[in-house]
Structure 1
Amino acid sequence: MKPIAARPAAWIVAASLLLLAANLRPLFPSTAILLPELTEALGLTGAQAGYLTTLPVLCMGLFAPLAPRLAQRTGIERTLLLVLALITLGTALRGTLGVAGLFLGTGLAGAGIALGNVLLPSLVKRDFSDRAALMTGLYTMSLVGGAALAAATTLPFTQAMGGRWDLGLALWAAPGMVALAAWAPIALRAPGHSTGGRHILPVEGLRRDRLAWAVTLFMGLQSALAYCVLGWMAPMLRDRGLDGTEAGLVTSLSILIQVAACLLTPMAASRCRDQRGLAVILAAAATLALIGMILGPSWAIWPLAVVQGIGQGGLFALALMLIVLRSGDAHVAAHLSSMAQTTGYVLATSGPLLVGVLHDWSGNFRASTGLLAALGLGTALAGWRAGRAALVHATVIRGRADRADAGTD
C-alpha cells in the first residue's frame, strides 16, 4: 500500500488530521476556566469539581485499549470518524441536563479523546514515516492550539452570552462538526474490510518489555502534570487574586507557548543520539515553573507561564515522539500507544484528583506543591529510562505461520 504521504492528496489528509487533532483538548480548559461558575450554578462540591476534572482523564485510560481492536475491525480512518462523533456529541451534552449532562457529556468526549490519542501516532508511523518528526510536531501543535483557543475564548464568550455557561461549554462542539465534515470523505473512502496494510494487527510480548514500561510511565507522569495544568491552572491563578479573564489569558499563554514547543521538540528529539537529557530538562522546566506560579511573586506569573509552556509542551510532544521512535512499525506503535495511554492516563488521574482533594483539605493550592514536585521528579526519571536509543521488543502476529519481529533491543 502506497503511503498517504506519497500520494497527491497527502496535504488534504494531513490538513484533516490536524483539524481532528485540534478537537482533542478543548474539553479540558473550557471546563477548567468555568469551574467557579459551574460550582456556583450547579452546587458542585470540591470533591465533585475534582471528579469532573479527573473524569475525562480516567476515560482516556479506560477506553484506550479499545482503539487497536476497533482499528483491527474497521480501520484507523473509520475509527477516527467515531472519535469525532463521540467528542462532538459529548461536548454538546455538557451544556444540557444539568449535572447529569455535564458528567455524561464529559465521559463521552473523554472516550472519544482516548481513541484518538492512541491512533494518531500509529497513523503518523504508517503514512508519514519519512516525515514522522514534522507530522508529530504539527499534530501536537494543532492539539495544543485547540486547548489554547478554548482557554482564551471560553470565558469571554460566556460573558458575551449573558453568563450562559451552558453555551460556553457547548460552543466547543462546533469545531467537532467541522472536523467531522472534513474527515468523513477520507474515512468512507478507506477500505472497510480487514487488510494488513490498512488495519492494525495484534502483537505479543510488549508488556514484558522494560523499555515499553518506561515509555508508559513517562507518558503517565507527564500527563498527570499536564492535566493538573489544564484542570487547575486557571483556578490556581484565580485563587491568587487574578480575575477570571486574566487567569484565562495566562493559561492560554502557557498553552500557546506549548504550541511552539510541540512543533520544535520532535525535530530536536529526532536529531539527538538519545532523548534522555531532553526529557530531564523539560521535566524540570515544567515542574519548577508551575510551583513558582503558586508560591512565587505575582509579577513572575506571566514569565513563569512561558517557561511552564515550554516544558509542558515539550514533554507532551516528546512522549508521543518516543512512541514512534521506540516502535518498529505502525502495528507496534498502535499497541505501544494503547499501552502507554491506558496505563498512563489511569495513572494521570491521580494528579488533578489529588490537587482537588488537597485544596479541599487546606483551602489553598500551596499544599499541592509537594505533589507537583513528586510528579516532576518521577517524570524526569522515567524520561531518562525511556529516552535511550532502542526499540521495544514485540512480535507482530501476521498469521499462524507468518510472524515477524517488530523490534529489537
Structure 2
Amino acid sequence: MKKLIPLFALLFIVGTLPLLSGCGKPAETAQNLGPDESILAMLNGVNNQEMEAVWNFLPASYQQDVNSIAHDFASKMDPEMYNGTFETGQRLAKILKDKKEYILKNQMLQNLPVPPEKVSEFWDPTTNIISALVNSDLSSLDKLKSFDGGKFLSTTGNQLAKNLVAISDLIPQKDEEASFSEKLKQTKVTVVTSAGDTATIKIEAPGEEPKEEQMVKVEGKWIPKNLADNWQSKMDDVRKQLAELTPEKVTAQKEQTLAGLKQVNETLAKLESAKSEEEFNNTLSPIIAPVAMFAPMLMMQLGQPMMGGPASPTLGENKPADPNEIVTIVIEQKLTSTEQDPIIEQILLSVDDSDQVNIVPMAEGETTIFKISPVADVEAFAKKIKFGKPAKVDAKKRSITVELDK
C-alpha cells in the first residue's frame, strides 16, 4: 500500500525547504496573489518540479533571514572539515553510480527480502538524490557564502523533486488511489472568509479530510498564520545555536571528524581501485553487513511492501509487528530466492488470512530464516507446515526448525 504525504504536511515541508538555501533574490511572482492562489501557486510549482515556487512563497524578509543564517554558518565552519565531508560524499556518489552492477550483485544484498530488480529500480533515483546534494551549491563554504536560494531550488531543488517523484511512483499503491502528482493536481483551495490582511482558506485533497487554514498577509504575500506566528522565534533559536558554534567547539570536533573521513576515504579508495567484481565485493561486504542484518527486521516492523519484496502481496497494513505474534522458521541450508518462493507460497496456505500476513525471509550464513506474523499458536502453525518436517518446535522461543522434503 502506498502512503502519500498528506497535503497539509506538505505545506509545512515545502515551507521549510528554503532553510537549506542561502541568499536569494526576493521574487515578485507571489505578489498580488490571493490567499488561495498563493497556496495553489506553490503546490503547482512542486507538482511541476519547479521548486523555486517554494522560495517565491516566502516574504522578502524571511528570505533575508535565511540568507544571513547561511552566511553566518559559512563564516563559522571549518573549511577542511566541511568541504572534506562533501568531497567524500562526491566520491561515494560516483562509486554508487559507476559500480552499480557490482553492488547489486553483492551476495548480502541478494539475500535481502527484496527482489534484485526492485532494488535496481529504486537505485538510480536514490543515487541521483545523493549526487545532486553532494555536488550542489551546498558542497563548499565558498559557494555557501554566496549562495542563491532561488537558484538552488530551481536547479538542485528541481533535481531532487524529480527523483523523489520517481521513487514515489515506484511504491505500490491501492487501486484507484491517486498518485502523489494527481493528488496535487486535484487539490482544491477556496477562500472561506477574508478581511483585510487575514483570511481563512479550505484545502480539499483526494483521500484526506478537508482542512481550514488561517492565512495572513506579510509584505504583500499570503502565508499560513502558523508560519508567521512562529517564524521569528524559530529564527532566533537558529541564531542562538549559531552563536554557540564557537571556534573552540569547531576545533574540538575537527580532529575526530577528519580521522573519520580519512578512514572512509581509505575504504573508498579500495573500492575505486578494485580490479574485479570479486575484489570490489570482498571490500564492500563487511561494510554493508550491519545494514543487511537489520534490514529484514526493519521491513518487518514497517509491515508494508514498499520495495515489492517476495512477500509483498501478503504484507498487511502499516502496523508494527508484535514480537509475541512472530514465529521464526529455521531451515538449516542456504536457499536462493527462487528456492524460497515455493516455501512462501506454502506458508500462505498455512495461515488463516493471507492478506494480512507478513513474511520476511533472510539468510544467516548457511541457514535460511523466515519470520512470519501474525501467528498466535506456534504449535498449531507447525502442524500446518507441508513443505517439510517440523523437526523442532519451541513454543517459548516461538521458533520452528524445519527439515525440507527431499
State if a TM-score over 0.5 links the two structures: no
Q: TM-score, normalised by structure 1?
A: 0.23
TM-score, length of structure 2 as denominator length? 0.24
Higher RCO (CA-CA < 8 Å; seq separation 6+): 1
Which of the two has greater helix per residue?
1
Which of structures 1 and 2 has the bigger CA Rg?
A: 2
Is the strand fraction higher in 1 or 2? 2
